[in-house]
Amino acid sequence: MRNLLRFVPLYQERVWGGRGLESALGRTLPAGRPIGESWEIVDRPEAQSVVASGPTQGWTLRAALEKHAAGVMGPKWPAGKPFPILMKWLDCRERLSLQVHPPAGVAGELGGEPKTENWYIAHTAPDAHLIVGLKRGVTRAQFERAIADNTVEQCVHHFNVAAGDSILVHSGQVHAIDAGNLILEIQQNSDTTYRVYDWGRVGLDGRPRQLHVAQSLRSIDWNDFEPAPLRAAPTSGTIADCDEFSIRRVVLGPGERCHLRAGEQPRLLSVVSGAVRASLDNPPGSRAASGERLARGDNVLLPYAGAFTFAAEATTILLVTENFARGG
């Protein structure tokens, strides 16, 4: 399998969501619903990405891995192993809950999965914030009292963000996304989230949403104080590097090209600003969507067996996610 794989988005209704994916990314959303998440690439029992075009149109990501594991992921990838990354757009019209994902050391005993994730800020409202980590010196006992007193806001680390900023949020870091942020989230394939505090909000059914205070207190890293985001830069470079994946920012001027070779590893490519023309650099006769246009908001899977060139139409920023198939 050599063709790039583009998938049908899976839209998720969230109480904190809105309609921002329509205006920001030109998406057509389900009518009359607050859409908080667009799952762009996912391989989970409860949610499957479906190929949107090309010779494998209509296939699920799971089917593609079962039939062409070597071509998609490389010769050492087991055919039954799930795709290791979940990628989603987040439209945060309101603040999300304060939450934590369990680290690997406690996830099993809590019946969950670890989740390290990276947030790339594509757009922000004026004075938009993120919350990641604890204020310096806050203890577990202080935090527990703050939950009871509804003063948790005073215990967590807030910072301003702007378009182009990013931050790697590890399992165990308490966090929340504030209102007014449009974020591309690239994460481990996990859907375990423990809500520790929800700012007094009710859900779409008018009732308070479920909290997971005991699990959260077990999961929070109590030595994680005031992490700093990576600020936007006009140059190419690595923006995230962890055991689960790495992410490179690639900045292209008009007419400049990015080449990604076959036989190295599978990759994910995200267009976070601008647009590119994608061409398949394989021998003549290969079935390919040569010249396919990828615009802001598009995310595609580049199989191990495919070689690609991306030519920028204007100044463009790409995110290239890689090094997620090392365990295969």
Indicate which CATH number applies to the domain containing 258.
2.60.120.10
Picking from 219, 253, 285, the residue at the C-terminal end of a domain is 219
Residue 226 lies in a domain: no
**Catalytic residue (one of 195, 248, 249, 267):** 195
Residue 271 lies in a domain: yes
Position 308 confidence tier, pLDDT thresholds 50, 70, 90: very high
In the chain, % of residues over pLDDT 70: 97
Please say if the pLDDT value at position 237 is more than 90.
Answer: yes
Same-domain pairing of 42 and 102: yes
In the chain, % of residues over pLDDT 90: 91
Q: In the chain, how many domains are there?
A: 2
Global pTM reads 0.95
Please say if the pLDDT value at position 286 is more than 60.
Answer: no
Picking from 219, 249, 279, the residue at the C-terminal end of a domain is 219
Residue 46 lies in a domain: yes
Which pLDDT score is estimated for 327?
A: 65
Same-domain pairing of 69 and 188: yes
220: its two tokens? 């929070």
Instruction: Express each pLDDT in 180-228 by its tens digit.
Output: 999 999 999 999 999 999 998 888 888 889 999 999 999 999 999 999 9
Q: Judging by DSSP bridges, how do beta strands 267-273 and 299-302 pair with one another?
A: antiparallel
Same-domain pairing of 248 and 209: no
222: its two tokens? 């109590």
Radius of gyration of the chain (CA): 20
> Which residues partner with 166 through β-bridges?
120, 230
Q: What is the mean pLDDT of residues 102-120?
A: 96
In order of 46, 144, 167, 290, the CA distances from 270 in angstroms are: 24, 39, 16, 18
Residue 187 lies in a domain: yes
Is 277 one of the catalytic residues? no
Q: What is the mean pLDDT of residues 150-164?
A: 97
Same-domain pairing of 31 and 132: yes
Please say if the pLDDT value at position 284 is more than 80.
Answer: no
Same-domain pairing of 205 and 293: no
Residue 283 lies in a domain: yes
Same-domain pairing of 214 and 257: no
Side-chain-facing half-sphere of 21: CA atoms under 13 Å: 29
Say if CB 296 and CB 274 are below 8 A apart: yes
Same-domain pairing of 256 and 110: no
Residue 88 lies in a domain: yes
Same-domain pairing of 115 and 198: yes
Which pLDDT score is estimated for 287?
A: 46
Cα 305 → chain centroid: 24
Please say if the pLDDT value at position 289 is more than 70.
Answer: no
Picking from 219, 253, 272, the residue at the C-terminal end of a domain is 219
Which pLDDT score is estimated for 300?
A: 98
Same-domain pairing of 193 and 311: no
Same-domain pairing of 215 and 241: no
Sheet with 316-322: list strands edge to edge: 5-6, 299-302, 267-273, 316-322, 246-252, 237-241
Please say if the pLDDT value at position 88 is more than 60.
Answer: yes
Q: Give the count of beta carbons closer than 10 Å to the beta carbon of residue 101.
A: 27
Same-domain pairing of 64 and 154: yes
Cα 228 → chain centroid: 19
> Which residues partner with 111 through β-bridges?
none
Residue 231 lies in a domain: no
In order of 20, 50, 136, the CA distances from 5 in angstroms are: 25, 9, 44
In order of 62, 159, 205, 319, the CA distances from 185 in angstroms are: 21, 18, 26, 11
Same-domain pairing of 211 and 292: no
Contacts with 147 (C-beta within 8 Å, 6 or more apart), sequence order: 196, 197, 213
Residue 164 lies in a domain: yes
Q: What is the mean pLDDT of residues 165-169?
A: 98
Full residue range of the structural domain in which residue 108 is found: 5-219
